[in-house]
Amino acid sequence: MKDRIRQFIEAIGWSDRQWLFFWVVLAFVVLVPVVMMISGWKLSSLNDVLIWLTGIVVLVYTIETQGLRFEMVRQNEMAVKPFLVLRIKGDRWQRQLTVKNIGKGAALFVRIEDVSLRKVAGDITAMRDRVVGNVATFSQLNYIEPGEEAGCQALCATDPRAGRINLDFLPSIDPETAEDNYELIIHYQDVESRPHQTRMRMGKDGVELIRPATWKFGGIVHDQS
């Protein structure tokens, strides 16, 4: 019986919002007459019934229209929204960190936050004490078109007083060679100057999307992301 009910509901094809409206209206239709009977209040004429029903219809229509408006705003923002992800291309001898735009809009002013070093791999291991600020830095990108991919340098600069050298940070986030996990945060803007952010975890446990934190629709942040 439960399976048949579920199949019937799925066949209707209503959204969650539409089902919410249905239950609200049903509650009005059922509960209001019950309350009226208990309180002893009676409708004096057919006009009162029509006014009551009209009020319910107007309420439902208003809420549904507002929902459609939010959906249109969401679709419009999706049309210009970029979404960036990181990946490492190539083998351990010739690898490159790349930023790819899998969204529908161009990403502008792409910047990855500096990362504080913990467990490191590769050439950094022997020169850890010479790294300036004990951080890895990333090159910035002006823009990335939808569907395009751009290379990004991940380096640790040594103290100039000891001879400045740019050490490759990639071995420390490449799953094949990493000894720890690092959280990388990408900041970027869309063509309407709205800020966006993607968080990824890269390292010994692989590559994982933590949360695209700024899928903002109508001023509301939705987990995507």
Along the 225 residues of the chain, how does pLDDT read in single tens digits? 667 766 666 655 566 666 777 777 667 666 666 666 676 666 555 566 667 777 777 777 777 777 677 777 667 666 678 999 999 888 767 888 999 999 888 999 999 999 988 888 877 777 777 777 788 899 999 999 999 999 998 888 776 665 667 888 888 999 888 889 999 999 999 988 889 999 999 999 999 988 654 443 333 333 443
Residues 123, 184, single domain; the answer is: yes
Tokens 């029509």 belong to residue:
50
Residues 44, 132, single domain; the answer is: no
Encoded tokens for 2: 């439960």
- For 18, other C-beta atoms within 10 Å of its C-beta total 13
Asked if residues 194 and 217 have their Cβ atoms less than 8 Å apart, the reply is no
Residues 62, 113, single domain; the answer is: no
Tokens 């249905």 belong to residue:
22
Asked if residues 200 and 209 have their Cβ atoms less than 8 Å apart, the reply is yes
Task: Establish how many alpha carbons lie within 13 A of residue 132's alpha carbon, considering only the half-sphere containing its beta carbon.
Answer: 15
- Print the domain residue range for 44: 2-80
Residues 155, 218, single domain; the answer is: yes
Residues 108, 171, single domain; the answer is: yes
Encoded tokens for 166: 């740019």
Total of domains in the chain = 2
Asked if residues 100 and 85 have their Cβ atoms less than 8 Å apart, the reply is yes
DSSP 3-state assignment of 106?
A: coil
Residues 25, 115, single domain; the answer is: no
DSSP 3-state assignment of 137?
A: strand
Residues 42, 111, single domain; the answer is: no
> Number of helices and strands (H, E) in the chain?
3, 14
Residues 96, 153, single domain; the answer is: yes
Residues 111, 213, single domain; the answer is: yes
Last residue of a domain, one of 80, 111, 141: 80
Last residue of a domain, one of 39, 65, 80: 80
E strand intervals along 113-214: 115-116, 135-138, 141-144, 149-152, 154-157, 166-168, 181-189, 195-203, 206-211
Closest by Cα among 101, 87, 102 to 144: 101
